[in-house]
Structure 1
Amino acid sequence: MKRFSIAVIPGDGIGREVVPAALNVLDTAASAHGGIAFDYTEFPWSCEYYLEHGEMMPEDGLEQLKKFDAILLGAVGNPQLVPDHVSLWGLLINIRRGFQQSINIRPAKYFEGLRSPLADPKQFDFIVVRENSEGEYSEVGGRIHQGSSQIAIQNSIFTRPGVENALRYGFELAKGRKGHVTSATKSNGIVHTMPFWDEVFADVKADYPEIEAESTHIDALAAFFVTKPEAFDVVVASNLFGDILTDIGGAVMGSIGIAPAANINLSGEFPSMFEPVHGSAPDIVGKHIANPIGQIWTAKMMLDHLGETELGAGILSAVEEVTKNGVKTPDIGGSATTEEVTAAICEQLKK
């Protein structure tokens, strides 16, 4: 039997509710499929862990995680306990950067049975490939002076390898999809980094003559995600642009609660990490209404990464069948609990 070792970090808030749901679905799918099993090791790293230990994860945390095939993360953050910049940089971003997870991918698609806020969603199905390690989210910068003369500087860092890796990943992905790549740019307003991004895009594009490719300014692209999302296949974007676009993707699906994400280590030297786009939602903790679909779809992406694409496809089909049948949490127009949605998906997998 093929076994996969999975590091599980439920984290904060509803992460502790939706991660068990995803593990239940994974085990049900594996049992129905046969020949596959998962070994889970759970880590208690969270804001509560920080209050007790003074750190979001232990100093040797990355060393503990590196032996696993993949990392499944729930949610990070509880600003009432720990400032967001401390919780995020101490855990999520620490893992992303420590394990060189330089690519972030986030799909968005029309789900039958989900009410998109768009009047005519037209069966859209696209995926955003986001550069995940540098760009606008670099740590380079600082502050000088005080009071009315205070200055804050935040530098964007774009390297040729970082940009090219993200772009090539997008083009390779498009080969197995609809064969279309859109690059998010803003070279008419950002005069150094975005022209550089465009130049690398043109170079990579030349290596994929079979792929239809175009550049679109980020402001127009954000509008097009709302007015014509069906026009897109693979979208490649910098760290900041990709972050913003994927929240729009979650919104046009009907809820950010169903949006998944993957943080990919391209070399295979370190494990990749899989997390839903939604946050820890402390306002609904314990109410049994957290939407588990984002975490379950995230687990599906983990299976794809591990080469179990058939099993992953079965999970996504089961999710869509359940939403079509009207078993949904309140955030997407239903009245079912987290547990009821999870049970319905598991029952569908058993069929």
Structure 2
Amino acid sequence: MRSGGPKARIAVIPGDGIGTEVTPQAVKVLKAVAATANRPLEFVEFDWGADKYLREGITLPPGAVEMLRDEFDAILFGALGDPRVPSNQHAADILLGLRFKLDLYVNARPVELLHNRLTPLRDRTEKDIRLVVIRENTEGLYAGVGGFFKKGTPDEIAIQEDVNSRKGVERIIRYAFEHARQNGLKRLCMSDKSNAMTFAHGLWQRVFKELREEYTDIDSRHLYIDTLAMEIVRDPRQFDVIVTCNLKIEHHGRGKHRSEWVSDSLSGIFEPVHGSAPNLAGKGIANPLGSVLASAMMLDFLGWGPEANALRHAVRAALHENYVTPDLGGDKRTEEVGEWVAKKAGNKFAVQT
């Protein structure tokens, strides 16, 4: 479900650890902007996470996926992972359950320098680092195809298959090209390891070469993933859109601010990319800005562009005024940052309109 209208219904899944601390701050910011914009925004919170799993043995309740698909416009997600569940079975059931059952094949991760002091790259400024990484989200090694032979013996063999369908590869590469075209981005890079993974990534190569002929307005090229790792540090200005399989882009994805999972059926999950950080939970110092930026992506997804821009403006203002948590060099607590950003975002939207 996605109404595309003035009203939206949001499912909120804070999850575990600092997810339960940063997500309420994002909701606070969203409520502030929605109130100023006079847009009805309804939030329904679900307690799916380690506590519920340990208490009731439940990860995703029966019918949960269908309910999220049919009754909500988007899902705002926190983080999953808890040391009390060493296997992280609950996290796998929830995350992979939603990913596969909602067919959330796109994982888009914007990479943007929001303040010059936040990059270790010399002589790079905010205008130099602005790109989006798009990874395939439902196939590859995450398909879970494989097994053990002679497990627990000296002769043990473990096999994990990299599963790539033509349908899956074509739709993610096409999505990346369309994203570039619709957003006025001129450069696209497809990255793989086809020199080693000749069968799986040979398919990526063939599909990419076919599709690029349909998008001659986009300057497209191929780089092996190890070359991309070097080039993105050497000169990030050369990239607008990067597309690849889900495992390869994990090398670059961690620590980036936020991400979205979307599908053709209008479902979408929006989350900060950081984990549950159980070592930080309960200390009140978790950084909520990633969750706020994920919320801005969600508003874009809903068609609420001015409201999304107000959130991004507020985050930039917090960074420039150093009203941030200790990880970014500030001395503010999680709730203080949330309150400040909510007020700034609401005021910014009022000025915009």
- Kept after mapping to 1: 8 A contact 2:22/2:287: yes
Q: What is the CA–CA distance in structure 2 between the aligned matches of 1:28 and 1:339, rounded to whole Å?
A: 14
Cα distance in 2, alignment partners of residues 84 and 117 from structure 1: 35
Counterpart residue number, 2:292: 296
The residue type equivalent to 1:233 in the other structure is: D
Match of 1:253 in 2: none
Is 1:204 the counterpart of 2:202? The answer is no
2:102 maps to which residue? 99
SS at match of 1:222: helix
Report the counterpart of residue 238 of structure 2 in structure 1. Answer: 231
Q: Which residue of 1 aligns with 2:351?
A: none
How much does 1:107 deviate?
0.3
Percent identical pairs in the alignment equals 36
User: Which residue of structure 2 aligns with residue 165 of structure 1?
Assistant: 171
In structure 2, distance between residues paired with 1:235 and 1:286? 36
Q: Return the offset for 1:85.
A: 4.2
Report the more deviating stretch, 272-281 or 112-121. Answer: 112-121
Q: Deviations over 1:275-322 (max 9, x none)?
A: 111001111111111000110111111111111122111211111112
RMSD of Structure 2 on Structure 1 (CA): 1.4
Which secondary structure does the structure 2 equivalent of 1:284 belong to?
A: coil
Cα distance, 1:115 vs structure 2 = 2.1
1:34-73 counterparts in 2 under 5 A? 34=38, 36-66=39-69, 67-73=71-77
> Are the structure 2 counterparts of residues 154 and 85 from structure 1 closer, same or farther at C-alpha, using a change threshold of 3 Å?
farther
Deviations 1:247-266 (Å, cap 9, x if unpaired)? 2xx3xxxxx4xx10101011
1:168 shift after superposition: 1.0
Match of 1:83 in 2: 86
Which amino acid in structure 1 is aligned with residue 173 of structure 2?
L
Q: Is the 8 A contact 2:49 2:91 kept in 1?
A: no
**Residue correspondence of structure 1 range 121-270 to structure 2 within 5 A:** 121-122=124-125, 123-146=128-151, 147-175=153-181, 176-247=183-254, 250=255, 256=256, 259-268=257-266
Q: Is the 8 A contact 1:11 1:46 kept in 2?
A: yes
Give the CA deviation at 1:342: 1.4
Q: 1:31 and 1:24 mapped to 2: Cα distance? A: 11
Amino acid at match of 1:5: R
Using the size of structure 1 for normalisation, the TM-score is 0.93
- Closer, same or farther in 2 for the Cα pair 1:275/1:31, shift >3 Å? same
What does 1:268-307 align with in structure 2 at a 5 Å threshold? 268=266, 271-307=267-303
CA contact (8 A) 1:274 1:301 kept: yes
Following the alignment from structure 1 to structure 2, what is the Cα–Cα distance between the partners of residues 43 and 346?
Answer: 23
C-alpha offsets along residues 2-48 of structure 1, whole Å, 9 cap, x if unaligned? 211111111001111111100011011112223x1211111111011
Amino acid of the structure 2 residue aligned with 1:278? H
Of 118, 121, 142, the match for 1:118? 121
Distance 1:224 1:87, change over 3 A: farther
* TM-score of the pair, normalised by structure 2: 0.92
Gaps of 5+ in 2: 349-353
Equivalent residue for 1:12, pick from 11, 16, 20:
16
CA 1:267–1:65 in 2, change beyond 3 Å: closer, same or farther? closer
Count of aligned pairs: 338
Instruction: Tell whether the 8 Å contact from 1:127 to 1:235 is kept in structure 2 after alignment.
Output: yes
Cα shift readout 1:194-220 (whole Å, capped 9, x = no counterpart): 111011011111100000000000011
Tell me if the contact between 2:188 and 2:218 (Cα under 8 Å) persists in the aligned partners: yes
> How far apart, in 1, do the equivalents of 2:87 and 2:120 lie?
29
Query: In structure 1, what is the Cα distance between the partners aligned to 2:210 and 2:117?
Result: 40
Structure-1 separation of matches of 2:204 and 2:18: 37
- Deviation per residue, 1:78-99 (Å, 9 max, x gap): 0x21134413321111111111
- What amino acid sits opposite 1:128 in the alignment? V
| Residue identity opposite 2:268 in structure 1 | S
**CA deviation after TM superposition for structure 1 residue 238, in Å:** 0.2
The aligned counterpart of 1:329 is 325
How many Å separate the matches in 2 of 1:223 and 1:87? 36
Which residue type is aligned with residue 226 of structure 2? D
Give the partner amino acid of 1:40: F
How big is each residue's C-alpha offset from its partner over 1:28-82, in whole Å with a ceiling of 9 and x where there is no partner? Answer: 1112223x1211111111011111121322132213322211111101110x211
Opposite residue 26 of structure 2, the aligned amino acid is: A
**Cα distance in 2 between the residues matched to 1:342 and 1:85:** 29
Partner secondary structure for residue 149 of structure 1: coil
CA distance in 2: counterparts of 1:292 and 1:198, whole angstroms: 39
Q: Is the 8 A contact 1:5 1:70 kept in 2?
A: yes
1:219 alignment partner, SS class: helix
- Matched AA of 2:175: Y
1:177 alignment partner, SS class = coil
Deviation at 1:181, TM superposition (A): 0.4
Opposite residue 343 of structure 1, the aligned amino acid is: E
